[in-house]
Structure 1
Amino acid sequence: MRRLFLLFVFALSAGGPFRTGATERGTTLVVATYNVCNLFDTINDPGIADEVPTPEAWQRKTERLGRTIGAMAPDVIALCEVENAGVLDALLGSPGLAGEGYRHIHYDSPDRRGIDVALLYRADRMRLTGAEPIRMATDYPTRDVLRAEFSVAGATRPLVVYAVHLPSRRGGYHRATRAREEMAARLDAHAAADSAAATVVLLGDFNENPSSRLVRRRLEGWRPLAAGAHGRGEGSYAWHDVWLMFDQIFVGRGTVAEEARVFLRQGMLTRTGRFEGYPDRELSDHLPVYTRILLR
């Protein structure tokens, strides 16, 4: 497992996240995505297969997530595997995020496990002008796609963000693959309709690598910003001693954006035992991914 850790020696010494703000060319924003791995509350809800953490585990996870996201300092971040608006309220009140001006967007979805996507955004830098869940007409009950539109000071074009968590292989490989293909095609159609008038960003857990057949076939019009990092052996999720870049950020071909980077700080990886070098599951089994984009 040690070799997983060694791939990220540079990332640990790479310094903080990108700075944001107005420039002569436009306004820069940090956008990010993070699968926060079963962010459930301590209430057992009938009808969904939710996990119920102890109050102590819930508090530790919430506080660690708040500090992690706060250290990354994104202007907008997609969160995957969020149970409800209540856990987001608690997260925004935790150390690292309390008082930082973040608000959240969330809608309940038909996922069997009760996990949804959500967005956090800096209300002092971005004004929400519209949001909606996009229900994917599929026989595979899963998360909705969340679409949000923002007006950003210093930018003439609006920003449209799609938060995505495509189905995993848990419900059967072939069935889940078909659902991912269908959802990715519909996501592409929705986002393409926005791209003429807005800067569009697709971000979330795609359960696929940047080089996958799905990305090449269904998202060919979008630039996978994490492709370079994945090509160097980096990733956001570890499986069988291999780093996978399932957490991705896509932008339109004409959007000015930095290469996406994996965010890693001391304490985010398991230190000892069988899963040494893997993401610490008490925090999340994924690592966040972020980039900086330029809005004009």
Structure 2
Amino acid sequence: MNNKKTYLFIIILFQICTSFSQKNEKKYTIRTIAFYNLENLFDTINDLSINDEASPMMELKFNRSKVYWDKIDKLASTIAQIGLEEAKTSPAIIGVSEVENRSVLEDLIKSKHLIQKKYGIVHYDSPDKRGIDVALLYQKKYFKPLHHEVFNPNIYKNNRKVFTRDQLLVSGYLDDELIHIIVNHWPSRSGGEPKSRPLREKAAYQNIKIIEKIRAKEENAKILTMGDFNDDPNNTSFKKILKTKRKKKNVGVNDIYNPYENLHRKGFNTLAYRDNLNLFDMILISLPLLDKGEKDYSTYKMYKAMIFNKHFLSDKKGKYKGYPFRSFSNGGYTGGYSDHYPVYMYLIKKI
């Protein structure tokens, strides 16, 4: 066989192999689910009904408007990149915390980075004294909310009601599958972890009640509970109250799987404070969203869970080098993004 015929044979063989490979290649729909603590996303207007004067934005003496729009731009740019590598678009669904009101969310989704995605908003004003809320943003072409409501943990401290953030439940269709999302921002560690621990345990009990309410109507419900929990995966709120599982093989019908527990064991974090590294931001799932090795992706299953800790989101210098590049510090604006890294997971389904 001469060189010309050999070359032609190789080309034909390559085309046949490529065609066969393409026909047998599995194709998947990929949707990104995310959560992001937006670190004091307050507007520049004094709201007399809440204590927003204590927010870092209102404490600024100059250039509040410039700072506000710079922060909006940075946060929107970050959200636009989450999950982009695999899903080829920004998150289909993203829970957020530390937002002052619906207005700041509208400014966020109208940013040049997100406006083409046509995000919808689910938001309620919570009774939190600082006026910070949780919310859910969703791309309307992928997710259709059917029902949403809020629950406030029944927490008392020294016989006084603790007004903390609501837990937001949103149920709806991700493409053609019904899912339920709980967005959380549990009580802080103010006063120290041991002293404040019962407050987060109460918040965990509230989560259980919401999950039980969902399962009472839908036994095999696909549930995601996400948020800034102000606890690490190994704390009592997760291990003793929610009874989260670290290993897929141990997840039973009514259990909750926490993919971030293994990441925490490996030393990953979503925030740092006073030289302590913590992984407070997580997305947990119920059994029907978990692939336990069967590789059955006929319905949406979690492919992998990650932390969006790109280099630009970290401080580059000083004593906080390597920490999340926060927006506010020592009464001023740093030009950063947030004091938390976003977290996200891919849900995939075979086409």
State whether TM-score is above 0.5. Answer: yes
Larger radius of gyration: 2
TM-score range, shorter chain: 0.7 to 0.9
Tell me, yes or no, if structure 1 residue 214 matches structure 2 residue 224: no
Higher percent of residues as helix: 2
Tell me, yes or no, if structure 1 residue 69 matches structure 2 residue 49: no
Offset of 1:261 from its aligned partner? 0.8
Q: How does 1:92-241 map to 2 (within 5 A)?
A: 92-138=109-155, 139-155=161-177, 158-170=178-190, 173=193, 176-195=196-215, 196-220=219-243, 221-241=255-275
Tell me, yes or no, if structure 1 residue 269 matches structure 2 residue 279: no
Give the letter for the 1:39 counterpart.
Answer: L
Instruction: Please list the CA deviations of residues 146-201 of structure 1 after superposition, one character each: whole Å capped at 9, or x if unmatched.
Output: 0001112243xx11000000000126655632221112112112113324152100
| Paired-residue identity, % | 32
2:342 — aligned with what?
A: 288
1:58 — aligned with what?
A: 68
Structure 2-normalised TM-score?
A: 0.73
8 Å contact kept, 1:201–1:252:
yes
8 Å contact kept, 1:62–1:91:
yes
Compared with structure 1, are the counterparts of its residues 206 and 85 closer, same or farther at alpha carbon in structure 2 (3 Å cutoff)?
same
2:48 — aligned with what?
A: 46
8 Å contact kept, 2:152–2:164:
no
Instruction: Please list the CA deviations of residues 212-232 of structure 1 after superposition, one character each: whole Å capped at 9, or x if unmatched.
Output: 121001111311121122111
Compared with structure 1, are the counterparts of its residues 173 and 209 closer, same or farther at alpha carbon in structure 2 (3 Å cutoff)?
closer
8 Å contact kept, 2:50–2:129:
yes
Question: Over the residues paired in the alignment, what is the CA RMSD in angstroms?
Answer: 2.1
**Counterpart secondary structure, 1:260:** strand
8 Å contact kept, 1:228–1:259:
no
Give the letter for the 1:247 counterpart.
Answer: D
Compared with structure 1, are the counterparts of its residues 242 and 137 closer, same or farther at alpha carbon in structure 2 (3 Å cutoff)?
closer
User: Which structure carries more relative contact order (alpha carbon 8 Å, separation 6+)?
Assistant: 1
8 Å contact kept, 1:26–1:154:
no
**Counterpart secondary structure, 1:258:** strand
Distance in 2 (CA, whole Å) between partners of 1:264 and 1:135 is 31
Compared with structure 1, are the counterparts of its residues 185 and 294 closer, same or farther at alpha carbon in structure 2 (3 Å cutoff)?
farther
Give the letter for the 2:212 counterpart.
Answer: A
8 Å contact kept, 1:140–1:176:
no
Distance in 2 (CA, whole Å) between partners of 1:250 and 1:189 is 16
**Counterpart secondary structure, 1:164:** strand
**Counterpart secondary structure, 2:163:** coil
Structure 1 unaligned blocks of 5 or more:
1-22
Segments ≥4 residues shifted beyond 6 Å: 23-26
Aligned length in residues? 272
Distance in 1 (CA, whole Å) between partners of 2:75 and 2:91 is 13
Structure 1-normalised TM-score?
A: 0.86
Distance in 1 (CA, whole Å) between partners of 2:51 and 2:341 is 24
Offset of 1:80 from its aligned partner? 0.7
8 Å contact kept, 1:27–1:154:
no
2:32 — aligned with what?
A: 30
